[in-house]
Chains A and B, each alone.
Chain A
């Protein structure tokens, strides 16, 4: 992967931050404290100062547990949300502040696949209508037969049976719907796909079908993926690089192989050990104390400190910066930096 670091990244995220205000309206922010009325705002810090590069042709996986902000990152990149702070650059162009109109040519390039195939297709549109609509919208110059050709090509490549065309989404199973949703994203011929947990709502045997389909599309169409998931076994198979998020902050960024062979951040190690293994040879499960705190008004210091076995006073005060390790991975942890972590059992 060394050669890639020199190349211009396709997607560049710099210091991305997203807050969701919990208070609706001015009045809710007023609180009575010690006999005085003060103004307090509460906000969910979904994403905190996240910086990432995605290079052409790679599949960057973002993993983390619920509430870690991984879906928010996906939605920010897809332009469904606007960041509170920070910048998103695509192919050298800043995209987070574009108007809908200026964004339009980029919509063809960046597409998204959603988690729930039962909700991501309009129930009142036939498969054909759903597939033709984006083609028509983005290529007004296309004639009827051009549109049909494009749709037929995509349907064929994704394995959507042409006989399905006149049917409605509710007539299909989850796997078939996800196939259709992928086909829909591919009709505009994108180069970058944000996939937000695309297989976690599917059955095991169907997950493999959809993953294969996405791998195929990656090879045949030269796609680049930003793949959001909580499933580490999928990451190991699918990702070229992995980003581990915890409470909206990056813990570790590494090549997939490096991450799985030598995880460094205490959280990454706990996460890896928690995956249920098929065969009996699993290493001891690293137990984490407590649970993920809510991301409302985060305290200072390392976000993981409340569950970390290696936390000390420095972790309480100072938020760790991502530091490059000898093997090329980035790790944000004081304990790793100070070499306080006992080698893995």
Chain B
């Protein structure tokens, strides 16, 4: 049985004069210990997905429909007390900015001990010992001393390690990481990613990695969901998606990277902008930016269905495929 099973998740935001749909029928599964990437640009709904999984949405956002089965229990239907038992304990979340996630007026030790004692019956001493072990796991030198330091005394990379250590404190089954390294430098990002990967693999922890960076996804995850305007438009094995994307948007995203073009040449850009939630076009949300769009695309929302090794939500995927094959033959 899968660890997490999301079925038809729909999230809406009640705005002043209309209700906008931020997530539209999201469904996916995550096996135990599996690493899943959710890729998309800002406004695609990837962060909202992360928040919904922990039922952390606050007004004006709400879960309108759908199920989030975590280990067989529906997170959507849980009351506050049940949610508290799941959050932090069995499902942990790592946020983007290590500067604001830690409470600046508490020491690292106080924050870790507090988290532990909120969920387990432990003495402060026992909790500190567990904290030290966890800090060692994330390769922090002299962890005993770090426990008595305040967040501002530590560098950004160190803080993100500590946040990971806090996320791991209660041995969760699933970690949701929302852009965990975007605020960090490249050399440090590489370190943190390696660490996260190693920890997930050795402890059999599931990972949902939310990011805009295809490079990171390609190195970290086994499966990937690509989101656009609140829907999943492509999903499948990461390798297949990176090497052979089917949806025109995914293709566009990969082709737009500077590495895919010779230096100095025009990049293959996707025209236009991501629609705002209030202005999602009719039919396929991507149609105004898509070079393959037909009348069908402009009127009917494509359903996600198997195509080759992946699942794609695109009316024209077959035509696209054959055209590309023809072009390749020419080349």
Interface residues in chain A, defined as those with a beta carbon under 8 Å from any beta carbon in chain B: 65-66, 173-176, 203-209, 211-212, 215-216, 230, 232-234, 236-238, 256-257, 270-271, 273-280, 282, 285, 287-288, 291-292
Q: Is B253 engaged at the interface, CB distance under 8 Å to the other chain? A: yes
Cβ-defined contact, B268 with A276, below 8 A: no
Name, among A203, A279, A287, the residue most crowded by chain B CB atoms within 10 Å (CB to CB): A203
Cβ-defined contact, B264 with A276, below 8 A: no
Enumerate chain A residues within 8 angstroms of B41, measured Cβ to Cβ. Answer: 203-206
Enumerate chain A residues within 8 angstroms of B259, measured Cβ to Cβ. Answer: 233, 236-237, 277-278
Nearest CB of B to A117, in Å:
12
Within B214-248, the residues touching A (CB, 8 Å) are: 214-216, 218-219, 239, 242-243
Cβ-defined contact, A66 with B185, below 8 A: yes
A-B pairs, 8 with minimum CB distance:
A276-B215, A237-B258, A208-B256, A203-B41, A65-B185, A208-B269, A274-B190, A208-B267
Enumerate chain B residues within 8 angstroms of A285, measured Cβ to Cβ. Answer: 190, 194
Q: Is B60 engaged at the interface, CB distance under 8 Å to the other chain? A: no
Q: CA A271 – CA B186 in complex, angstroms?
A: 7
Cβ-defined contact, A276 with B266, below 8 A: no
Q: Which of A174, A236, A280, A292 is within 8 Å of B258, CB to CB?
A: A236
Within B192-227, the residues touching A (CB, 8 Å) are: 193-194, 212-216, 218-219
Q: CA A174 – CA B269 in complex, angstroms?
A: 16
Q: Is B69 engaged at the interface, CB distance under 8 Å to the other chain? A: no
Q: Which of B158, B213, B219, B267 is within 8 Å of A212, CB to CB?
A: B267
Could you give 17 example pairs across A and B, Cβ below 8 Å? A65-B188, A66-B156, A173-B274, A174-B42, A204-B257, A209-B269, A211-B267, A212-B267, A216-B266, A232-B186, A237-B263, A238-B258, A271-B186, A274-B187, A276-B190, A285-B190, A288-B187
Q: CA A42 – CA B243 in complex, angstroms?
A: 52
Within B11-42, the residues touching A (CB, 8 Å) are: 41-42
Enumerate chain B residues within 8 angstroms of A270, measured Cβ to Cβ. Answer: 187
Cβ-defined contact, B242 with A276, below 8 A: no
Cβ-defined contact, A291 with B261, below 8 A: no
Cβ-defined contact, B253 with A204, below 8 A: yes
Q: CA A273 – CA B190 in complex, angstroms?
A: 9
Enumerate chain A residues within 8 angstroms of B264, measured Cβ to Cβ. Answer: 215, 237-238
Q: Is B73 engaged at the interface, CB distance under 8 Å to the other chain? A: no
Q: CA A237 – CA B259 in complex, angstroms?
A: 7
Q: A204-B41, A230-B185, A278-B214 are in contact. Are A211 and B258 (CB under 8 A)?
A: yes
Enumerate chain B residues within 8 angstroms of A278, measured Cβ to Cβ. Answer: 214-215, 218, 242, 254, 257, 259
Number of interface residues of B (CB under 8 A): 44
Cβ-defined contact, B186 with A275, below 8 A: yes
Q: CA A256 – CA B264 in complex, angstroms?
A: 11
Q: A203-B42, A237-B264, A291-B158 are in contact. Are A277 and B256 (CB under 8 A)?
A: no
Apart from A208-B258, A282-B219, what 14 extra A-B contacts exist at CB < 8 Å?
A65-B188, A66-B156, A173-B274, A205-B270, A216-B266, A232-B186, A233-B257, A256-B263, A274-B189, A276-B215, A276-B218, A278-B254, A279-B242, A279-B243
- Secondary structure type dominating chain B contacts: helix
Q: CA A259 – CA B266 in complex, angstroms?
A: 21
Q: Is B305 engaged at the interface, CB distance under 8 Å to the other chain? A: no
Cβ-defined contact, B219 with A206, below 8 A: no
Enumerate chain B residues within 8 angstroms of A173, measured Cβ to Cβ. Answer: 273-274, 276
Q: CA A280 – CA B252 in complex, angstroms?
A: 20
Cβ-defined contact, A204 with B256, below 8 A: yes
Q: CA A66 – CA B253 in complex, angstroms?
A: 26
Nearest CB of B to A272, in Å:
9
Q: Is B64 engaged at the interface, CB distance under 8 Å to the other chain? A: no
Q: CA A174 – CA B42 in complex, angstroms?
A: 10
Q: A66-B185, A276-B219 are in contact. Are A207 and B256 (CB under 8 A)?
A: yes
Name, among A236, A237, A288, the residue most crowded by chain B CB atoms within 10 Å (CB to CB): A237
Enumerate chain B residues within 8 angstroms of A271, measured Cβ to Cβ. Answer: 186-187
Closest A residue, CB atoms, query B184: A66
B 257-290 binary contact with A (CB < 8 Å = 1; else 0): 1110101101111110110100000000000000
Nearest CB of B to A220, in Å:
13
Nearest CB of B to A271, in Å:
6
Enumerate chain B residues within 8 angstroms of A206, measured Cβ to Cβ. Answer: 41, 273
Name, among B158, B258, B266, B274, the residue most crowded by chain A CB atoms within 10 Å (CB to CB): B258
Cβ-defined contact, A208 with B263, below 8 A: no
Enumerate chain B residues within 8 angstroms of A257, measured Cβ to Cβ. Answer: 263
Q: CA A205 – CA B267 in complex, angstroms?
A: 10
Name, among B239, B264, B270, the residue most crowded by chain A CB atoms within 10 Å (CB to CB): B264
Cβ-defined contact, A205 with B187, below 8 A: no
Q: Is B45 engaged at the interface, CB distance under 8 Å to the other chain? A: no
Q: A205-B270, A206-B273 are in contact. Are A234 and B253 (CB under 8 A)?
A: no
